[in-house]
């Protein structure tokens, strides 16, 4: 069984291309129309900023076959679209994200896959459950300062 080396894996191009230096005015439909000259476009994604909702200046275009993707790189790289020269490359796979990377509904996992409920209890914080004196004995509540004074005067 022969293994494929890095050079062999690099030769196989993905069906998806990265489009950089994109004007903020370009829409998904305009992108599909521009790249359809290279071949059948399956999908185009224009990521937007979470807070502002504006496009981030790049996009991903997915083609039906690898040949169309390769042709689009040759055809569209350096071509002007809305006054900006495009930078078109083969899209790289997203690197794996570390566990617990945050996001909506993020909760840290204590003790493994069970999260709060299934794993070990959360680590003890620097504070004891009940306040203690210098000998480690729990304080006994004597009430408010006002009530202590009243007891001394005989009101209780």
Do residues 22 and 58 make contact, with C-beta atoms less than 8 angstroms apart?
Answer: yes
Cβ atoms within 10 Å, residue 39: 19
Give the separation between CA 14 and CA 29, rounded to whole angstroms: 22
Average pLDDT over residues 115-141: 58
The chain-wide mean pLDDT, for the chain, equals 75
pLDDT higher than threshold 60 for residue 155 = no
Q: Is residue 61 part of a domain?
A: yes
Domain range holding 37?
A: 12-90
Name the DSSP letter for residue 3: P
Number of domains observed in the structure of the chain: 1
Q: Is residue 96 part of a domain?
A: no
pLDDT, position 10 = 45
Average pLDDT over residues 23-35: 94
State the CATH number of the domain containing residue 41: 3.30.70.330
18 CB burial (10 A radius; 0-12, 13-18, 19+):
middle
Average pLDDT over residues 128-137: 63
Do residues 62 and 43 make contact, with C-beta atoms less than 8 angstroms apart?
Answer: yes
What is the per-residue pLDDT across 73-112, written as a single tens digit (0 to 9) for each? 999 999 999 999 999 999 988 788 777 655 555 555 554 5
Query: Three-state DSSP class for 129?
Result: coil
39 vs 139 pLDDT, higher one: 39
């Amino acid at each position: 069984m022969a293994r494929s080396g890095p050079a062999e894996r690099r030769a196989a191009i993905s069906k998806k291309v990265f489009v950089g230096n994109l004007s903020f005015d370009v829409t998904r439909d305009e992108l599909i129309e521009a790249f359809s000259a290279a071949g059948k476009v399956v999908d185009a994604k224009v990521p937007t900023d979470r807070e502002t909702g504006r496009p981030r200046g790049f996009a991903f275009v997915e083609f039906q076959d690898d040949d169309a993707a390769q042709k689009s790189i040759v055809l569209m790289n350096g071509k002007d679209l809305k006054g900006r020269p495009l930078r078109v490359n083969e899209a790289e796979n997203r690197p794996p994200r570390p566990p617990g990377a945050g996001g909506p509904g993020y909760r840290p996992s204590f003790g493994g896959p069970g999260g709060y409920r299934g794993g070990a209890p959360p680590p003890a914080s620097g504070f004891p459950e009940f306040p203690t004196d210098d000998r480690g004995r729990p304080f006994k509540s004597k009430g408010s300062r006002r009530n202590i004074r009243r007891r001394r005067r005989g009101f209780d």
